[in-house]
Structure 1
Amino acid sequence: MGSAISLRDDFDGAVLRRLARASGSANQVRRLLSLAEIYDGGSRTAAARIGGVSLQIVRDWVIRFNARGPDGLLDGKAPGKPSRLNDAQRRALVEVVERGPIPAIHGVVRWRLIDLVQWLHDEFAVSLDATTVSRELKKLGYVKLTARPRHHAQNEQAMEAFKKGFAAELAKVKSTLPKGTPVEIWFQDEARIGQKNKITRRWARRGTRPSAPKDQRTKSAYIFGAICPEQGKGAGLVLPFCNTETMALHLIEISLAVAPGAHAVVLMDQAGWHTTDKLDVLANISLIALPAKCPELNPVENIWQFMRDNWLSNRIFTSHGNIIDHCCEAWNKLVDQPWRIMTIGRRKWARRS
């Protein structure tokens, strides 16, 4: 019979009992007290009796304790079944998810778990179920998200060039102003709110499909909104049309919201009523056009989404006047929350140094 394995000599029975009193793990306490019995000169049989285990398991505890000290007597997490995907296969899975499906080849316009199951089988002859693929994707940092809309003709290079060149555009405006004039950066846009309203997501029990009221009538109004994210300010009007005359009214509203003695640089898209020479631009305002087909550059788009999701959707508007009332209420509620404007509206590329 082989000799018993000796315990490491940098601990003793008193130390292990003290550690047992401080431990929050019942299993570690049991193992510490068993090994304390051996340190105090007791037999391995007595140690096994204290631990309620066999001599072989006491021997395993001794090996773990000698290797890692008291931490070696804590319960470890069971390793479970090894993954059936190797690192190369995971990298390939990430690449195909990022690239997305090719409808003509894969027959779908977005990846479903069942499609990825089939792809893994076709590429690597690995048979997994949808639950396992979902678990692998979550480990890789992927979750299901709603895609944001992007104009099909958008020029991403133009977007990046605008952001990089905005400081120079701002400097040009400053050069035309008296030295020391404070400059406020504003963003402007319009949103149509009508009886054909949006239905937003909501919490519901799994397996059910909640309902929400939906109108088919066509009365509508427009919120003309502008925000100054750095100062949490907003200027808005609710108007019946989008044209040069209503845009001029909004510029007057923005002009009134600019701090006395300051100058507003207003960024907006290239709608016809924004760029026409017939538009009267007040002295304390300069206009800068955003690149075409790039609504992502305008944080007012995010303001509209927030207002629809929280205050304006899932409603039935009974009349045109009712639409106007709710639009005014929603905009005033936003202006009363300057921190909301700051949080949603700030863009690093537009912040003044």
Structure 2
Amino acid sequence: MAATLTTALTGEEITILKTYKRSRFSLVQHKAEALLLLDDGVTPDIIARFVERQPSTITTWILEFNRLRIASLFTGHAANTNASKLTPAQRAEIATALSQPPSTRGIPAQFWTVPQVKDWIASQFDVVYDSDTTYHLLLRHAGLSFKYPQVFDKRRGSDADIDARMAQIRDEIADALKDPGQVVFAADEVRVEHEAEVRKAWIHKGHPTTLSVDRIRQAQSYIGFLSQTTGEMDLLRLTWQNTETITRALTTLVDRHPGKKITVVWDNARWHRSKKLREHLDEGNVLANVHLVWLPPYAPDHNPIEKVWNEAKAAISNRQRLHFEDTVVGFETFIASSTFSYRI
């Protein structure tokens, strides 16, 4: 019997059980605690005292878990034995619940997952479905879609602070956008990487085929200046991203727009704010007609040029190029032949 009273929890199961330790339902909470304690080597007798159950109950929980795994936490819902159709009223209630973060239902998570939805519906409505497709449909019915969430730096400011700063920037550049003697750019750096990949191909049987490719991983850095009036892009290659190369890029930008006052809106990279760069902006210097404006920190989604980079990378990703220079030329050709509607 001693060999039976083990669980051999997987890492995923441990994560899920830790979540259920904070469940609003005491039975689910106690079962999760019992299984985690057992996994840590605590004996069933001690676990029984901890969760205020009989040792025989703990034994039953362990045996059920070994048979049903996580599903055993929800009494009576194993193997879909109590499953039934949801009523229209229940579906409406579920849609309301899924349209809100799981934390509003006592689940410590930012996003819903299928296991969480499945367990919550089972505990609330006594319904379990065999297929995950049903839960996918419920999530879609609640207005959710399956996609990668945006990831932001934890140092990012509040939405209110970011919106306030963006409003200030728009006010600051408003006159320049209407002045034919001035140009306004959204700017940013990007790296284009290349490594040739060999995929399957239709080849005649009995005729081995070899393909010579450049397998060296290479990258090219750029800085782009997206005009906020014409949507055209000034794209410049960079040997590196630092104050020296960015100063040279700004000098080239000035040469391309002679006699114009230039406003550049960009992020807070250290080489964008360096003392050495700002010294070149003083009166009498080559960059004297350049005015720099900084976006709110850690808010790249508010720089319209980020959408250009995404569009350009997507355009060249559908074709496998064997040589690095072919990738670079493809990227530059797409930028040069396009105008973009993205604005601050």
TM-score exceeds 0.5:
yes
User: C-alpha distance in 2, partners of 1:193/1:235?
Assistant: 16
Q: Distance in 1 between matches of 2:120 and 2:337?
A: 51
Query: Which residue is equivalent to 2:251?
Result: 252
Larger CA deviation: 119-128 vs 183-192: 119-128
Q: Distance in 2 between matches of 1:100 and 1:300?
A: 39
- Distance, in Å, in 1 between the alignment partners of 2:139 and 2:231 is 39
Q: Hey, what's the Cα distance between the residues in 2 that align with 1:309 and 1:100?
A: 39
RMSD (CA atoms): 3.6
Q: Is 1:305 aligned to residue 304 of structure 2?
A: no
Give the counterpart of 2:173 among 170, 188, 195.
Answer: 170
Aligned to 1:225: 224
Q: Does the alignment pair 1:159 with 2:162?
A: yes
1:252-277 deviation per Cα after TM superposition (whole angstroms, max 9, x unaligned):
3332444x654321111111221123
Letter in 2 for 1:91: T
Structure 1 residues 334, 111: CA separation in 2 closer, same or farther (over 3 Å shift)? same
In the alignment, the residues of structure 2 paired with residue 263 and residue 327 of structure 1 have an alpha-carbon distance, to the nearest angstrom, of: 31
Could you say which residue in structure 1 is the equivalent of 2:26? none
For 2:117 and 2:318, how far apart are their aligned partners in 1? 35
Task: State the distance in 1 between where 2:249 and 2:135 align.
Answer: 52
Q: 2:328 corresponds to which residue?
A: 327
2:337 aligned with 1:336, yes or no? yes
Contact 1:234 1:257 (8 Å CA) reproduced: no
Gaps (5+ residues) in structure 1? Answer: 1-79, 199-213
Q: SS at the partner of 1:278?
A: helix
Q: Name the SS for the 2:128 alignment partner.
A: coil
Contact 1:183/1:263 (<8 A) preserved: yes
* Aligned 8 A contact 2:185 2:264 in 1: yes
* C-alpha distance in 1 between matches for 2:116 and 2:98: 12
C-alpha distance in structure 2 between counterparts of 1:293 and 1:146, whole Å: 19
* CA radius of gyration, larger in: 1
Match of 2:236 in 1: 237
Task: Quickly say closer, same or farther: Cα 1:244–1:313, change in 2 above 3 A.
Answer: farther
Q: Would you say the 8 A contact 1:193–1:222 is kept in 2?
A: yes
User: Which among 267, 270, 274 is matched to residue 269 of structure 1?
Assistant: 267
Q: How does 1:280-291 map to 2 (within 5 A)?
A: 280-281=280-281, 282-291=287-296
Q: Give the 3-state SS of the residue equivalent to 1:85 in structure 2.
A: helix
SS at match of 2:124: helix
Residue aligning to 1:44: none
| Cα distance, 1:100 vs structure 2 | 10
Change (3 A) 1:147 1:192: same
Could you say if the C-alpha distance between residues 113 and 244 of structure 1 is closer, same or farther in structure 2, counting changes exceeding 3 Å?
same
Letter in 1 for 2:191: R
- How far 1:220 moved relative to its partner? 2.3
Per-residue deviation, residues 107-166 of structure 1 (Å, max 9, x unmatched): xx8543243111111234333453332222222322212222222221133311211212
For residues 105 and 86 of structure 2, the distance between their equivalents in structure 1, rounded to whole angstroms, comes to 29
Cα distance in 1, alignment partners of residues 185 and 167 from structure 2: 18
Q: What is the CA-CA distance between 1:218 and the residue it aligns to?
A: 4.6
Q: Name the counterpart of 1:131.
A: 133
Contact 2:182-2:262 within 8 A present in 1 as well: yes
Compute the displacement of 1:313 (Å). Answer: 7.3
Q: Residue 292 of structure 1 aligns to which amino acid in structure 2?
A: P
Partner SS for 2:100:
helix
- What secondary structure is seen at the aligned counterpart in 1 of 2:276? coil
Quote the Cα distance in structure 2 between the aligned partners of 1:284 and 1:183: 10
AA aligned to 2:113 is R
Q: Partners in 1 of 2:247 and 2:195 — Cα distance?
A: 28
Separation of aligned partners in 2, 1:254 and 1:311: 26
Is the Cα contact below 8 Å between 2:265 and 2:292 reproduced in 1?
yes
**Residue 276 of structure 2: aligned partner:** 278
C-alpha displacement at 1:168, in angstroms? 3.6
Question: Aligned partner of 1:252: which letter?
Answer: T
Paired residue type of 2:122: H
CA distance in 1, matches of 2:303, 2:196: 23
> By how many angstroms is 1:195 displaced?
3.8
Distance 1:123 1:216 in 2: 55
Instruction: Count the aligned residue pairs.
Output: 235
- Does the 8 Å contact 1:312/1:327 carry over to 2? no
